[in-house]
Amino acid sequence: MSVFVNASWCLAIAGIILGLGVLLVFRQPIPALRVMLELFTAAGLLRLSVDLSWSAILGVVVLIAVRRLVTGSLVADLTRSTS
């Protein structure tokens, strides 16, 4: 395994741990999801630097699309309910 692959796994694990930590500290799902999805995106991009296959590129594209969709819909739902 490459150093970059190991680093991407560390970023993914850090995303889970920090996402749960943010959720426990702030008790709000939006910041926790943002932290987790940003670190997952960083892990995916780091892994993409090692494996330039079409499946890896598609995985990163799907991850970025899910990140934008989830954070956008959560922000819209939570801002609508507080108004």
As averages over each run of 10 residues, the pLDDT of the chain (83 residues) reads 86 94 91 88 86 84 86 74 58
What pLDDT shows up at residue 83? 54
What pLDDT shows up at residue 72? 81
Other beta carbons within 10 Å of 44: 21
What pLDDT shows up at residue 28? 86
Cβ–Cβ < 8 Å for 43, 9: yes
Cβ–Cβ < 8 Å for 32, 20: yes
What pLDDT shows up at residue 17? 96
Dist. CA 66–CA 59, nearest whole Å: 11
Other beta carbons within 10 Å of 12: 18
Other beta carbons within 10 Å of 19: 21
